[in-house]
Structure 1
């Protein structure tokens, strides 16, 4: 299922592991490790393991906040 965003393009509501890993800039193996550690919560409602767009945003917001707190003067992206 897709949803329209403000620029009239269609954005997916969930991503397969390979696509989610690409969006995060990490390997599928690293993404699987994050799932195993409980850092990212996947959906197993369908045949493929999927990660919702909201879950990816939550993970990025949580890890960005942690990085900024511990950076000690180092600028993050």
Structure 2
């Protein structure tokens, strides 16, 4: 999870440095679209790569506190 956070912070720093020197200092719709797309991509990748391990972690935590894991077949 820290890697995703660091990637987003790095991306924000890159865009911040990139656009600080501009005279208009305003981001256009294209630039906002690129940022939203990259953030969405980062979220999709994080969910894809961490989904299985997070599922197992929550199942283990649920069983450790006396809860029941998801029923078989789900």
TM interval, shorter chain, is 0.3 to 0.5
TM norm structure 2 = 0.39
Bigger Rg, which one = 2
Q: Which has the higher helix share?
A: 2
Q: Which has the higher strand share?
A: 1
TM norm structure 1 = 0.37
